[in-house]
A and B are shown apart, each in its own frame.
Chain A
Amino acid sequence: MRKLSIHIVLILAWSTATLGQTIYGTLEGTVKDSETSQPVVGANVTLRSSFIGAASDSGGRFRITRIPAGTYSLVVSMLGYQRTTVEGVRVVRGQVGSIEISMRPVPLQSDPVIITANKREQSLQEVPVSVATVTARMIADRNNVTLDDALRYVPGVNVLSDQVNIRGSSGYSRGVGSRVLVLLDGLPYITGDTGEINWESIPMFEVDRLEVVKGAGSALYGSSALGGVINVITKESPSTPELRFRAFSGLYDKPRYSEWDWSPKPRFNSGLVMSYAGKSGALSYLVSAGRTVDESYRENDTYHRWSLFAKVKYDLSSTQSLTISSNYIDRSHGNYFWWKSLAEATRPPESQLNGVVNSHRGNISLAYKEFISDKLFFTAKAIYFGNFWRDDSSGRVNNVSASHLFSFDVQATYDLNSSNVLTFGVAGNYDKVEANLFGSHPGVGAAAYAQDEASLSTEVKLTAGVRFDWQKVSVLASTAQLNPKLGVVYMPDSETSVRASFGSGFRYPAIGELYIESNTNVSAVAVLPNADLKPETSISYEVGINRSFGQRVSIDLALYNNDFRNLIEPIVEIKQYHPYPSSPIEVEGPVIQFENVTKARIQGLETVLRVEWWKRFFSTDIGYTYTWPLDLADHTILKFRPRHLLYGSGMFTWNHLRASADARYLSRIERIDDNLVRLAPIVNGDQRVAIKIVDVRASYDLIGLGLPARVGLNINNLLNYSYVELLGNLGPVRTYYLTIEGMF
């Protein structure tokens, strides 16, 4: 057993005040940092095996009401602190109990609690796969407005504009057909038409943390989890009313070269988001609204966005809860596909100059949870995700798409005995797409899954699971997939964890890939459908070790091998085709068509080193990933994969001052799609360099001046380095941000 080294001071002073004839009692108290005695804000204080709980407020205070009389185990958790349990907490009917909790900080966060790897809460040390977390604090410090920005600092992950790539899983298809599954509070959040991740509609201000599971995960999550799974976990409401806000104003610096300086006026990127949250009896609530305007450093790349988010949770009883959440965004964005040429790298070609995409996206989800007994936990979740967009050019509507995605997941977790935890469930989805690009097509799918986590001894844990998926799209024949997983973790001591895992993944072709048909106005290339596409599949193997050296140093090392089959890639070539479906004649010209073309093997290693140099004041993280992405069909390196990723960060904290820096190095992409560059055409589209980006920031907490606010200055791309992530798309120039966030 892991020894709890946290220092706990517990004071129970039962009040004599009665609360009428109620059957409930109340528990209140404070959570403090054991070393500084400062209040710990946002700590989750819950009664084990129930939904009764609260989060600490800006003063570290919490108050839990409506507790049935009895004796409980109190679980206190907070990222950055040692999770602890206080046993034997008595709650007396009609009385108010008081408790003071001291939490010990754990700066390295080497062992956070995660839920995505096995669909239940467990320590990171106990999972057999590589998992990275991004906390709300990191997101706020970096002023990440969209999810893709927050992922750019995760070891093993790189983002090609609209497309996320975990350990080389993805190439380039402008986001279509994502090989990484994004979950919003555990439910799939992939668009129904093109199967892509919609980064902008994730409510980043309300994100509690991100969990990034690397490697195939279809044995639990189904389609799209070939390369990994990203779970976006939103915040819970605090027990006392709380008004929060964050405002930022950013100024783009001039491009490094005068040839690229297209705008006579300064360009700004600004935003404001506010939220109000609290709890009233059994009801907790959180609402937020935001506005962002980005004038961009490039011509016709401006966007305007409104966003709304609401989350309401009702505790039906101490063991039952119902959560309803909803999210909506309205955005208008210039249709910037690629530059005019490297000589005019901040301007699009004339054909794109007047293009704009207007989109409305929203979701509503329900989650019912119940502790049926101490051993059986049940959840039922459902989500509707609607996507509506149209792109206009010079006032003319070109393309319109409406997609509706409904999915559900019913799951039970059962502690069979002291050695086995069973997780099993069923899931399903229904899609409906109506678009001039894709036609009108429905899709339906169903799945069943089960896994067992067995503790073979105190040192060895074994996980085995399997999931069966069935899918049918439009009039095409149905397809089925069976995906197993197997993992083992060996923990010889409290500081060492050795893991090995095998998992499989698959992705059904998106409706957009199957049915897209377009002669776009931005390219000379026609896009053709291919209803013969088969699902792409992957098999992942990983071995790894995580080792802590005292409280100051931890290192994680992983070796991985991913085999892909039937990879769906956009193929650009000149061929004969019917310019429209009913055309009696064929023409010759450049076309893009999605095809099952590639089998690939991606091998590599990844290591993450965390060091706390100066206790609580200065720490560093370094992550290095080497990827060897081999196209087995033609024995060349896979397109659009960098071979080396090196990320480093350092954080300095002193009293109310916090300063940090991030550096990213991605080696030059060795192989791109030359046909796309030549035929699209993207002038100078083959121009690319290694990516070397440094971001720095500092913030100061005004609480010392009596103001519950923090002000900060961020400088992104400090060196004003010029690079492309995506063909013909110059990355952001140096940008200065002034931020302020507060909580009342």
Chain B
Amino acid sequence: MKKLLLAAIVMSLLSCDHGLEPPPSVQPGFGGTIYFEKGTWPASDSLVNLWLFASQLYPLDSAKIFTGLFSNPPAIYLYPATDKNLPLFVDSVSFAFNVPPGTYKYVGVLQHSANDINASSLRVVGLYGTNDSPPLPIPIIVSDFNFVSGVNIRVNFRKPPPSPF
């Protein structure tokens, strides 16, 4: 009996449990879900574009937006793409946003409401931030081989967070 017990302990110790292991190789980025508050969607003509954005710059002003978007490499990234939109008039949408490793200080949902792109036609309608009122942005750190999950954002088109620009 004692020998059996000893053998069980040794087998347990030598089992396949080796503790922590490196995560499988993944594309860096972050992912989560955007929840749209029901009944707050604006008219379709004011939804020229709707993007998820990730900015390494914060705070932003109108000049930094365009510098960040069009610099090489950019400091502000758009999801799904510059010429593509998030789905419209849905309750929620899941996303997996692959971005280069870096610190993204300001992450949220951006509404583009006119054909021209300028500061007055852009507004932030959702923010990955704290539960404070008003919410504060939470930085997301993306490193090599690291995909940050659980980035959930609530959008209420009628109660957007404070505009940074």
Contact = CB atoms under 8 A, between A and B. Distances in A.
Interface of A: 256-257, 259-260, 340-345, 524, 574, 588, 663, 678-679, 681, 683-684, 687-689, 692, 694, 719-724, 730
6 contacts: A678-B138, A681-B139, A681-B141, A683-B143, A694-B13, A719-B13
Contacts of A524: 103, 139
B82 to A, nearest CB: 28
B89 interface: no
Contacts of A692: 13, 17, 19
B20 interface: yes
B144 interface: yes
Contacts of A663: 13
B141 A723 contact: no
B144 A344 contact: yes
B18 A721 contact: yes
A20 B125 CA distance: 102
A261 to B, nearest CB: 11
A671 to B, nearest CB: 17
Contacts of A730: 20
Contact of B22 (A260, A679, A688, A724): A260
B152 to A, nearest CB: 13
B21 interface: yes
A679 B103 CA distance: 11
Contacts of B143: 340-341, 343-344, 683
A723 B13 contact: no
B23 interface: yes
B18 A719 contact: yes
A487 B136 CA distance: 53
B14 interface: yes
Main secondary structure of the interface of B (DSSP, over half): loop
Given A257-B22, A684-B23, A343 B144 contact: yes
A652 B14 CA distance: 22
Contacts of A719: 13-14, 18
B13 A722 contact: no
A330 to B, nearest CB: 34
Interface in B131-150: 132, 136, 138-139, 141, 143-146
Nearest to A663: B13
B163 interface: no
Nearest to B14: A719
Chain A CB within 10 A, most for which of B19, B23, B145 = B19
A672 to B, nearest CB: 14
Q: Which 10 pairs, one residue from A and one from B, show the smallest C-beta to C-beta distance?
A: A343-B145, A722-B19, A722-B20, A259-B22, A681-B141, A341-B143, A721-B19, A723-B19, A689-B19, A683-B143
A689 B138 contact: no
Interface residues of B, number: 21
Given A524-B103, A684-B146, 19 more contacts: A259-B22, A341-B144, A341-B145, A342-B20, A343-B143, A343-B145, A344-B145, A345-B22, A574-B130, A574-B132, A574-B136, A663-B13, A679-B138, A681-B139, A681-B141, A683-B141, A722-B19, A722-B20, A723-B19
A348 to B, nearest CB: 12
B5 to A, nearest CB: 12
B23 A342 contact: yes
Contacts of A340: 143-144
A345 B20 contact: yes
Nearest to A588: B136
B129 to A, nearest CB: 9
B138 A342 contact: no
A343 B145 CA distance: 6
B11 to A, nearest CB: 12
Given A574-B130, A574-B136, A683-B141, A343 B13 contact: no
Contacts of A341: 143-146
A722 B17 CA distance: 9
Nearest to B141: A681
A683 B22 contact: no
A345 B22 CA distance: 8
B146 A343 contact: yes
B34 to A, nearest CB: 19
Contacts of B21: 256-257, 722
A595 to B, nearest CB: 18
A687 B22 CA distance: 10
A257 B138 CA distance: 33
A592 to B, nearest CB: 15
Contacts of B19: 689, 692, 721-723
A532 to B, nearest CB: 23
Interface in B1-49: 13-14, 17-23, 25
